[in-house]
Chains A and B, each alone.
Chain A
């Protein structure tokens, strides 16, 4: 252990990661496994074919409780929280006064509270943001004593059906307090891989026992954060800090689908969130640049930060995420381009080590999402 590692926090599954041969790296202040013995490509393929178990305990789990919690939270997100039915989940974004994205998050109506999951790297900032705006309207508390596991892949449903029969009737973006192998957990049918799957919020004291039980199942293998990144990028999902940040708006980020109808100009509760003027105007008038999928030719990955040029060698955009997509079998990327170049089929070039590499603007996702909708 170096001095730097000593300051990293550990999740409740740390000993298990080490026992499983996890290659531990620093991520969002935690020591996390980037991969296990099989490596990123095999772990990725296992998740697409069977079921992968991920430790995502570095993410922040927040509880909002109180009569006015839904209305209060709506003041921070361009999302319909008031209309979110019990045991249903919705993707949300914290916006700033310029319409930029402070974080992306998942909001679940858990009946007597809202269960909110935020990015690990943004957790403290998000928590302070919630506290300063919502205090007095509802209580804001961090679930310190819970781990978060994700079970993802086409066989995740069969595994959970065996250990938690109550999950059999759940569809994508629903949730519930459910016993998993006898342990009371809060389960959502969602994830970050494009596959069917679940996220399981489990008491920290029972997390390792549950993880081991899941790993005992024939379908399940442990998967590191490396494959989590390749899976999410193939599924066209944004990584906060790369593909979206305080300088990108939801409209520029091609996340218009996430902006609830109720919060748009012609909706039941139009605006009323930070940056509403900018975002509603962009919805009506369009934007100068947009997030798109990019498919480089050849085998060399095009990485984040690479500039995109048009035929006249003019810089028209920038790559925000890029890697080798194991299911695609080649390099895949996302980035922002000027709207005139955002149409699928547009040919551009990326500057890789000073040399132009051809790539094409493509429709996202790269790999069809396979959520379970009943």
Chain B
């Protein structure tokens, strides 16, 4: 059983068997423009919710990605080192950033489901 949740910082987390796969949303990649570099956390790193987890560099600016939940990083998407443009072309697929072992499942309750996120983005005009 999988479930997808969204943060106000335009991250998505796909939850499967206690592991969350994290990336940025289509809205976020559209706002950033062409992604040219992604700095990812190493496997084994422990992150608290809200910690800076990754950095996304577009042509003109750098943006941080914050951990949407507390946990230990189990894997990073090393394919982004060679092809960071996947963040633009397939943000909720091949453009994922890292996987995290969710330590506090209750933190997920504070995130939005797909319908709520859609409404949230529409509200940003």
**Residues of A in contact with B (beta carbons under 8 Å apart):** 1-2, 23, 34-35, 39-41, 226, 229-230, 299-301, 303, 323-324, 326, 331, 353
Contacts and interface: CB of A to CB of B under 8 A. Distances in A.
Contacts of B55: 353
Contacts of A229: 60
Please list the 8 inter-chain residue pairs (A to B) with the smallest Cβ-Cβ separation, ordered nearest first: A324-B36, A41-B34, A40-B59, A299-B37, A300-B37, A324-B59, A39-B34, A301-B57
Interface string B67-96: 000000000000001001000100000000
B60 A323 contact: yes
B39 interface: yes
B39 A323 contact: no
Tell me what chain B mostly uses at the interface: helix, strand, loop, or mixed: mixed
Given A226-B60, A301-B62, A326-B59, A35 B33 contact: yes
B57 A324 contact: yes
A226 B37 contact: no
Contacts of B59: 40-41, 226, 230, 301, 323-324, 326
A324 B58 CA distance: 8
A39 B37 contact: no
Nearest to B30: A23
Given A300-B39, A301-B62, A226 B57 contact: no
A326 B58 CA distance: 11
> What is the interface residue range for chain B against chain A?
10 to 19
B33 A226 contact: yes
A40 B34 CA distance: 7
A166 to B, nearest CB: 37
A71 to B, nearest CB: 42
A35 B34 CA distance: 11
Nearest to B31: A23
A40 B33 contact: yes
20 contacts: A39-B34, A40-B33, A40-B58, A41-B34, A41-B59, A226-B33, A226-B59, A226-B60, A230-B60, A299-B84, A300-B37, A300-B57, A301-B59, A303-B61, A303-B62, A323-B60, A324-B34, A324-B57, A324-B58, A353-B55
A34 to B, nearest CB: 8
B60 to A, nearest CB: 6
B23 to A, nearest CB: 19
B106 to A, nearest CB: 31
Contacts of A41: 34, 59
Contacts of A2: 125
Interface string B8-36: 00000000000000000000000001101
